[in-house]
Chain A
């Protein structure tokens, strides 16, 4: 397979992925987390059986990486207001209690492993910092916990 043919295949696979799977995930935060979950932490390679069966494993991997970078750069381009709103939507979609979600994300910082490989460190730092601020805003908006019954 020539390099040009391979690029065309990757572009087709990426379009296929956008039209079939990613079209149903409207928020870039959700897309980023979904695409990061397609990556094997040990090898850094992406796997998607459906896409690999229509193209090849290598082409599917590159297409997933392209879409991952795209979702990342869309999220970095979001304003803080948009990021907070996306996180609220994401919390709703996970059916987790907002308090538990904020506590877990503050402690585990799962967004740190959702960054594409070869991301510029400053851009990654900017996004991590925005997540930190967004989590603080969401925490401040949580209703105060009900008073503990006295013994």
Chain B
């Protein structure tokens, strides 16, 4: 009986490891599609999620002041629910795009000899700080609403914008390298 339980346990373990292996991203690190994904994440962050005007609109306190002063209580609840949903969506999107960039940089650091180590370390620290700040802000917004921590919102937006700048700077050599490779010219960028 004990041996049966033991073999069942081993079987379940094997099945779980196979399942986890199958779920792993099999795309090679440093591939063109990973580069395209990273570029897309950068574009989404810089043009879609981090422009100051958009961040100000999502967390605009004067909208709340207007609603509180000039509308009935039922509207207050609707407003808070709607803005909270948008704020959480913004944070989720920022986190997801940052994760995508982080994944690319982790892979790229192993493949490209021309990456600047100082920039990569700075970037790794920014990613870690951002992930923590986003999670804390998500919890705060979830519990206390979208106007709970306005200073933290601007900190997250600024750190994310800075991380995007560093990432762009760090990957700038890849553009010409990839174009050269596409044109069939030799490139030394993808030095292993």
Question: Which A residues are closer than 8 A to B by beta carbons?
Answer: 76-77, 79-81, 120, 122-123, 125-126, 129, 132-133, 136-137, 140
- Answer whether A126 and B75 are a contact pair too, CB < 8 Å, given A79-B63, A80-B63: no
Decide if B26 is an interface residue (CB 8 Å cutoff). no
**Can you report 9 A-B residue pairs in the complex whose CB atoms are below 8 A from each other?**
A76-B57, A81-B66, A120-B48, A120-B49, A123-B48, A126-B54, A133-B82, A137-B71, A140-B72
Please state if A77 and B57 are interface contacts (CB–CB under 8 Å).
Answer: yes
- A137 CB contact (under 8 Å) in B57, B62, B75, B90: B75
Q: Which of these, B54, B66, B67, B72, contacts A123 with CB under 8 Å?
A: B54
Interface residues on B, range: 20 to 34
Residues of the B chain whose Cβ atoms lie less than 8 Å from the Cβ of A133 = 67, 75, 78-79, 82
Q: Is the interface of B mostly helix, strand, loop or mixed?
A: helix
B contacts, CB < 8 Å to A:
44, 47-49, 53-54, 57-58, 60, 62-63, 66-67, 71-72, 74-75, 78-79, 82-83, 85-86, 89-90, 93
CA distance A126 to B82 in the complex (A): 9
Q: Chain A at the B interface: mostly helix, strand, loop or mixed? A: helix
Expressed in whole angstroms, the Cα–Cα distance for A137 and B93 within the complex equals 29
In the complex, what residues of A have CB within 8 A of residue B63's CB?
79-81
- Chain B contacts for A123, CB-based, 8 A: 48, 54
- Do B44 and A140 have beta carbons less than 8 Å apart? no
Contact A129 B67 (CB under 8 A): no
Is the pair A140, B54 in contact by a Cβ cutoff of 8 Å?
no
A141 CB to closest chain B CB, in angstroms?
A: 9
Shortest Cβ distance from A78 into B: residue: B57
Inter-chain contacts of B93 with A (CB < 8 A):
122
Nearest-neighbor residue (CB-CB) of A129 within chain B: B82
Do A136 and B75 have beta carbons less than 8 Å apart? yes
Indicate if the CB atoms of A126 and B67 lie closer than 8 Å. no
